[in-house]
Structure 1
Amino acid sequence: MAVASSLYLWRRLWGTAILSAALILLLPEKGRAEPGVPVPPNNLLSDRGAGALAAADRDFVIKVRLAGLWEIPAGEMAQDKSADPRIKEIGRNIAAQHVVLDKLTRDAAQKLGIVLPDAPNSDQQGWLGEMREADGTQFDEIYIDRLRAAHGKIFPAIATIRASTRNDTVRKLAQRANQFVMTHMTLLESSGIVDFGSLPTAPPPSAAAGQPSATAQVLSAPEQRPSSGTNTPLVLLALAGGLAAGAFATRQLAGNRRQTHRSRRGRYYDG
């Protein structure tokens, strides 16, 4: 009876270990939790106006101000001219968020001595004019198209400033602006009417002095192979656990067999 029980235990432990390892190998996403997308810790950035201020930095601050000068009234128009509740909500959210971003921009400009415009530029005024003449679905298409195109243009400019500026106030404003722009692009695309086919395509990678680009180097490196998604440490841990469980069960089984053998010998000699 004891031997049969030990065999049953041994099979269960080994079976569980093997099943766990198989699940990790075949379904790696089940063996690990995907980490959450981090939020930039803006409080770790200084904002003292310290560092050299380049012409590109000044131009960036002015462009962020200009974005708010036309996107706020555009969002307000969406409340009156659109018949789509989703477009109304998108316009309301973007306008409200630009009010916050505009305050951050004006504070940065005051600290850095940058003179900001008080009216949209000629292109932006033209876009607002198009929206004033449209209603319903026509307004929706113009609103989404113009804002998505504008955000697509300023998005790479923000990345350039964030990565290259020497001024800490501009750096912090760029990081904050990046978060706003990413949110706005996502909101605009949630409308379902963005014409992605009409968006400008990314320029082809270029090679300097006959050398392959960084992207090409990464793609051609032999060691950079697509990962299967398997979490190797978890697999090794599961296999080690299985081996340990098997060794334990084997020792238990051997001990039970020796005890049974001794009991039988005792009964034999006692008889």
Structure 2
Amino acid sequence: MTLRWPRRLSGAALVAVALLLFDPQGARAEPGVPDPPNGLITDRGKGEVSDADRDFAVKVRLAGLWEIPAGKMAQEKSDDPRIQSIGRDIAAQHVALDQLVRDAAKKLDVSLPNKPNADQQGWLDEMRDAEGEEFDRVYIDRLRAAHGKIFPAIATIRASTRNDTMRKLAQRTNQFVMTHMTLLESSGIVDFAALPTAPPPGAPTGSTSTAQLKPTSSSAGGTPVLALVMVALASAAVTVFICRHFLLGSRTQGSRRSYRRPQGRYLGS
């Protein structure tokens, strides 16, 4: 009996080590939070590539072109170890993501830029001119705002693209962006009040509108369905009343005609 427990413990330890070796991402995932299985998505370059797909690939490439040097500046200019760690992790992960988007673009013959756009270059200039806590604020706010803008674009491409390579790129990019947003927010200095507000809810995109789903919607000539139902019920009640009235009346008259008063010994008795 005393020898079985060490064997069981060693077996459990081997299983844990195997999980870490074969699925390091899954081993680090939070309990109960699913990790998308990227290996189940094909990457053969099959399917139509839309203009939106090409624009998405360009956006992913541009993100790396300015966030990698921004992360390097965070490691050099910030006095906060947490900001330095965030910059190091995001820069390193963008190197990996940049390789993914370049591989996808090569497979799909999509042209990619080689330098940041004017806005991104301006953000990098801001960071170069800032020092200390001001740098930390600029770095965190600019990157958090940028990730918030590309996040909806990722969802659109992941849900609508016809190309399997672009679909896989969108799924992988989503995992990177979610990680980066979490890292940036862990700094504790994100100005959430300055982020763009969500647009008001619009009409459903399906073929059925909300007006068609309402119980008081018009069925013909603008007459509410509920009013038509009430009229129909009232008409049915009147019809039943009239029918019962005439039926009972005819039965009463018939019974009166067939009835005869008794005669003979019953009179005056």
Please tell me the TM-score bracket, short chain as reference: 0.5 to 0.7
Instruction: Say whether residues 1:48 and 2:39 are aligned partners.
Output: no
- One-letter amino acid of the counterpart of residue 64, structure 1: V
Shift of 1:212: 3.0
Which whole-Å deviations, capped at 9, do the CAs of 1:136-172 have from their partners, x for residues lacking one? Answer: 1000000000000000000000000000000000000
Larger Rg: 2
In structure 2, how many angstroms separate the alpha carbons of the residues matched to 1:89 and 1:190?
11
In structure 1, how many angstroms separate the alpha carbons of the residues matched to 2:191 and 2:210?
33
Normalising by structure 2, we get a TM-score of 0.65
Instruction: Say whether residues 1:152 and 2:151 are aligned partners.
Output: no
- In structure 1, the residue matched to 2:210 is 212
Shift of 1:115: 1.2
Q: Give ranges in structure 1 of 5+ residues lacking alignment.
A: 1-33, 218-271
Check 1:86–1:166 CA distance in 2 against 1; reply closer, same or farther (3 A cut): same
Check 1:166–1:210 CA distance in 2 against 1; reply closer, same or farther (3 A cut): closer
Q: How does 1:129-140 map to 2 (within 5 A)?
A: 129-140=125-136
In structure 1, how many angstroms separate the alpha carbons of the residues matched to 2:106 and 2:31?
39
Query: What is the Cα-based RMSD across aligned positions, in Å?
Result: 1.9
- Count matched residues: 182
Shift of 1:206: 1.4
Instruction: Say whether residues 1:36 and 2:23 are aligned partners.
Output: no
SS of match in other structure, 1:59: helix
In structure 2, how many angstroms separate the alpha carbons of the residues matched to 1:90 and 1:163?
30
Shift of 1:80: 1.1
In structure 2, how many angstroms separate the alpha carbons of the residues matched to 1:165 and 1:211?
25
- In structure 2, the residue matched to 1:198 is 194
Shift of 1:35: 6.2
In structure 1, how many angstroms separate the alpha carbons of the residues matched to 2:127 and 2:186?
20
- One-letter amino acid of the counterpart of residue 180, structure 2: H
- In structure 2, the residue matched to 1:60 is 56
Instruction: Say whether residues 1:98 and 2:94 are aligned partners.
Output: yes
- One-letter amino acid of the counterpart of residue 212, structure 1: T
- One-letter amino acid of the counterpart of residue 181, structure 1: V
- One-letter amino acid of the counterpart of residue 109, structure 1: A
Which of 165, 170, 186 is matched with 1:169 structurally? Answer: 165
Shift of 1:183: 0.1
SS of match in other structure, 2:203: coil
Greater RCO (CA < 8 Å, at least 6 residues apart): 1
Instruction: Say whether residues 1:116 and 2:129 are aligned partners.
Output: no
Which of 121, 128, 135 is matched with 1:125 structurally? Answer: 121
In structure 2, how many angstroms separate the alpha carbons of the residues matched to 1:158 and 1:75?
22
Q: Give ranges in structure 2 of 5+ residues lacking alignment.
A: 1-29, 215-269
Normalising by structure 1, we get a TM-score of 0.65
- One-letter amino acid of the counterpart of residue 176, structure 2: F
SS of match in other structure, 2:210: coil
Shift of 1:207: 2.1
In structure 2, how many angstroms separate the alpha carbons of the residues matched to 1:35 and 1:76?
32
Percent of aligned positions that are identical: 74
- One-letter amino acid of the counterpart of residue 85, structure 1: P
Which of 72, 84, 89 is matched with 1:88 structurally? Answer: 84
- One-letter amino acid of the counterpart of residue 75, structure 2: Q
